[in-house]
């Protein structure tokens, strides 16, 4: 996607600090995003609550909590 966006000549749509390293893993975000929306909690604070049963398991996996915290740090660095 970065390559396609970089090919746009009309304007610069990619910031100079952009890297190709992902901020988070898509599969984990597929689980976290609905929980974040339904519980009305930013992903930053989602690890402090339990996941909704209808969406997934009864507890967050350690790797998911680590990803939430890492995503939060990376977003803060981008800002």
Q: Is the residue at 10 inside a domain?
A: no
More confident residue, 67 or 53: 67
Q: Across the chain, what does the average pLDDT equal?
A: 79
Q: Is the residue at 52 inside a domain?
A: yes
Q: Is the residue at 3 inside a domain?
A: no
Question: What confidence score (pLDDT) does residue 68 get?
Answer: 84
**Token output for 78:** 């981008």
Give percent of the chain with pLDDT exceeding 90: 0
Q: Is the residue at 4 inside a domain?
A: no
Question: What confidence score (pLDDT) does residue 56 get?
Answer: 54
Quote the distance between the C-alpha of residue 63 and its chain's center: 13
Q: Is the residue at 15 inside a domain?
A: no
Domain that holds residue 32: 21-78
pTM check: above 0.85: no
The tally of domains found in the chain comes to 1
Q: Is the residue at 49 inside a domain?
A: yes
Tens of pLDDT, residues 13-38: 888 887 777 766 666 777 788 888 88
């Amino acid at each position: 996607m970065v390559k396609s966006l970089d090919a746009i000549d009309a304007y610069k749509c990619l910031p100079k600090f952009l890297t190709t390293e992902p901020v988070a893993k898509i599969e984990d975000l597929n689980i976290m995003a609905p929980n974040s929306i339904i519980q009305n909690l930013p992903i930053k604070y989602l690890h402090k609550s339990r996941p909704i049963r209808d969406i997934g398991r009864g507890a967050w996996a350690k790797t998911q909590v680590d990803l939430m915290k890492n995503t939060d740090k990376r977003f803060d660095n981008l800002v």
